[in-house]
Structure 1
Amino acid sequence: MRQSTLLKVFILSSFLSSVYAFGEGRDCPADPYADPANDICNPLRYVPNKVLNCLGAALFFIVAAALTFWSFRRKANYFLCLVIGAWFEGAGFVLRVLMRDNLHSLNLYIVANLFIILAPCAFLAGDYIVFGRLVQFLEAHHYIRPFKARQVSRIFIASDIITFLIQGSGGGLSASSSTGSAELGAHLFLAGIAIQMVSFIFFSCVWILFGIRVFSGDKQLWHREGWKPLYFALGFTCICFIIRSIYRTAELAGGYISYLSTHEGYFLGLDSLPLLLGIATYVFFWPGNYLHFDGNPFKKSKARRTEEGAQMYPLNAGDSYETQTGLDTKITPTYNNYYVRR
């Protein structure tokens, strides 16, 4: 909890420093609608389209409501990050609509961008978690070697957080009045996005490798019913999120006032639409409908490995456990005249 709070404070402070540096010491035009593309006080450099942003907010809220329904109907607490992220993305679009009447408002810009940038990180985390749970559910760890199911979630979520921190620090420096600091910030922000993209592409390769290994090496598991729809749905979301990552990387490579950055159509078509399609996929392929666990599957897996790794000794008829072993350690009788040393 403490680390999460520090992270939020850090990112918020980065955005605050960014936008206040952005507007400090600059004369804003009296009419913000006259020439938004050259308005130095308008961080977007355009006027958000009211109809499209309202539609975007409505669609994200509909998907968020459907995901929330599934979270109550078929519990999957590990997937709450994606559900919450969907509500945040919809709220971000609402704030973009409000910005139409407040193009120079620093507060709206801060919160809107915070929501828009935070949400996709939650979507990626959702994919990481679902894949780890799927591998655990199938007990197919050996098909993702050298990784383990739990490691997949932890490693890629950690990379998600690290790259987000890089983006946050870059956002704060990029609007500095110092040319050197501004260039450093822009490069940091671009590096954060690019590393996040590479990390997710690598994760997608692990997803592909798992499918290939199961298909070629375990026909019985491959033809087992009930898991492949979720597996392929996860693959579709990977494609959607990679498209978004490539767009964001290309956008930032051109700078904050590049052609891609200052034309809303690219943001809506290559950022928002792929994200919407990706998370909407889980409305139809909710993980809770495919993965059924009693409690924490990772803890059960550890307990099972302990049981499997326990030493087994033969029991001769007529002898006590202590007589055979000379041990006073706790022992438990099992099946077929064997006992387990704990």
Structure 2
Amino acid sequence: MTSPTTFPSNWIPTYDTCDEVSVYCPVKYTTLGYYPNLGVNIFLAIGFGLAALLTVAIGIWKRTWGFSIAVASGCFLECAGYIGRCFVSHNPWNGDAFKLQIVSIVLAPTLVCAGIYLTLKHIVEAIDRTLSRVSPRLYPIVFIPADVSCLAIQAIGGGIAAAAGVFNYELLKHGNRVIMAGVSLQVVVLVAFGLLGGDYLWRARRHFKNGGHDSSPDGASLFTDKKFRLFLIAVAGAYAAILIRCIYRIAEMAGGWANPIMQHESSFVVLESFMLLIACWLLSGFAPGLFFPQMTSSSSKRAEGAETEKRGGVESDSPGMETA
């Protein structure tokens, strides 16, 4: 009988040559190197699916369109990814299911991050825009495209690695390096966002502590509101969870495909799966529609109208002149 480590001449087990686990296609030669735990992945798929449905329901009810679309899309993608891992748990050589889980789980955090990036703009506008070092509208304009660019770099690296296959080792290494660059840049973008957000909240705290209530009464009232504080804690927790996940991704990809960290299921479940699940449930459970109503579309339009009217009273004395 042929042993599991003995292969025919010129035989290499890959997703193109194997379609199920067998003597010539052992599970250890798959990218993951193990049978994913079915129960854990069913739990994760249900968890992300419920978070997505809750986000959609509250988003429609409270009209928080941009935030809800971004976060719900990320949750649905995560759900799809773990459904893919459920199929992989039955057959680790299921190439289509493996690709589904890879693409979905890599793409989803970018969409969840987009929801977080949107919150800072509305927080600044609701508290006091003059305390921000940059215009609040620049936060999503800068950080969302930056995060998408990081994802694009990872996709390019994945394409290079896929083109290399198992025969062109040098090209495969270049693809892995490009993926690493994209993940590392994503961490840099997240850290930059965290620094700006933390700086703004620190400046707001100092402003109100030093008697800024008179100049920004609505902002002062919001800043001390318990529900708003819970919302800030939830967003900060989601941000920290995604940052931990991205740092883990750097370590996971450092050794290339099928390295020992990538083939260690427990670390993946804790540092990838549950970090994203925590982030998604914090953002859906403490949704801005319930805890930060100033982020709803109707409140935003009223705020923009008041700001435009305020500027118009000063700047529109000349006929035909309008403010942007």
TM-score by length of 1: 0.77
Which residue among 139, 148, 159 is the counterpart of 1:172? Answer: 159
Residue of structure 2 equivalent to 1:111: 100
Q: Which has the higher mean CA deviation after the structures are superposed, 234-243 or 288-297?
A: 288-297
Which residue among 295, 298, 321 is the counterpart of 1:294? Answer: 298
Q: Which amino acid aligns with 1:300?
A: G
Which residue among 165, 169, 174 is the counterpart of 1:184? Answer: 174
Q: Which has the higher mean CA deviation after the structures are superposed, 175-184 or 267-276?
A: 175-184
Residue of structure 2 equivalent to 1:196: 186
Deviation at 1:309, TM superposition (A): 4.1
Q: Which amino acid aligns with 1:294?
A: S
Q: Percent identity?
A: 22
1:59-138 matches, within 5 Å, as 59-79=47-67, 80-138=69-127
Listed one character per residue, the Cα deviations across residues 113-140 of structure 1 (whole Å, up to 9, x for unaligned) are 11111111111111001111221222x2
Q: Which has the higher mean CA deviation after the structures are superposed, 90-99 or 173-182?
A: 173-182
Could you tell me whether the CA contact under 8 Å between 2:41 and 2:82 is conserved in 1?
Answer: yes
Deviation at 1:170, TM superposition (A): 0.2
Listed one character per residue, the Cα deviations across residues 289-335 of structure 1 (whole Å, up to 9, x for unaligned) are 223343754853762464154166xxxxxxxxxxxxxx9x469xxxx
Could you tell me whether the CA contact under 8 Å between 1:134 and 1:291 is conserved in 2?
Answer: no
Tell which has more relative contact order, 1 or 2 (C-alpha 8 A, sep 6+): 2
Residue of structure 2 equivalent to 1:282: 283
Q: Which amino acid aligns with 1:184?
A: H
Listed one character per residue, the Cα deviations across residues 6-32 of structure 1 (whole Å, up to 9, x for unaligned) are xxxxxxxxxxxxxxxx645x5788617
Could you tell me whether the CA contact under 8 Å between 2:77 and 2:108 is conserved in 1?
Answer: yes
Distance of 1:229 and 1:57 partners within structure 2: 26
1:36 aligns with 2:27: yes
1:144 aligns with 2:132: yes
Residue of structure 2 equivalent to 1:310: 315
Distance of 1:271 and 1:67 partners within structure 2: 21
Deviation at 1:241, TM superposition (A): 0.9
Higher radius of gyration, 1 or 2: 1
Listed one character per residue, the Cα deviations across residues 195-235 of structure 1 (whole Å, up to 9, x for unaligned) are 00110011011111111101112233455325332222211
Deviation at 1:254, TM superposition (A): 2.1
Distance of 2:20 and 2:241 partners within structure 1: 39
1:205-216 matches, within 5 Å, as 205-216=195-206
Deviation at 1:111, TM superposition (A): 1.9
Q: Which amino acid aligns with 2:82?
A: F
Which residue among 153, 166, 187 is the counterpart of 2:140? Answer: 153
Unaligned runs of at least 5 residues, structure 2 = 1-13, 214-218
Q: Which amino acid aligns with 1:63?
A: A
Match of 2:197, SS state, is: helix
Q: Which amino acid aligns with 2:71?
A: L
Cα distance, 1:330–1:112 mapped onto 2, change above 3 Å: closer
Q: Which amino acid aligns with 2:298?
A: D
Could you tell me whether the CA contact under 8 Å between 2:36 and 2:86 is conserved in 1?
Answer: yes
Distance of 1:188 and 1:32 partners within structure 2: 34
Cα distance, 1:301–1:117 mapped onto 2, change above 3 Å: farther
Q: Which amino acid aligns with 1:207?
A: G
Listed one character per residue, the Cα deviations across residues 150-196 of structure 1 (whole Å, up to 9, x for unaligned) are 10011000111111110000011124032222111100000000100
Match of 2:141, SS state, is: helix
Q: Which has the higher mean CA deviation after the structures are superposed, 266-275 or 92-101?
A: 92-101
Deviation at 1:251, TM superposition (A): 0.9
How many residues are treated as equivalent by the alignment? 292
Deviation at 1:34, TM superposition (A): 7.7
Deviation at 1:95, TM superposition (A): 1.3
Match of 1:149, SS state, is: coil
Could you tell me whether the CA contact under 8 Å between 1:215 and 1:222 is conserved in 2?
Answer: no
Could you tell me whether the CA contact under 8 Å between 1:36 and 1:47 is conserved in 2?
Answer: yes
Cα RMSD (Å) of the superposition? Answer: 2.8
Could you tell me whether the CA contact under 8 Å between 1:33 and 1:47 is conserved in 2?
Answer: no
Could you tell me whether the CA contact under 8 Å between 2:157 and 2:177 is conserved in 1?
Answer: yes
Distance of 2:220 and 2:47 partners within structure 1: 35
Q: Which amino acid aligns with 2:66?
A: Y
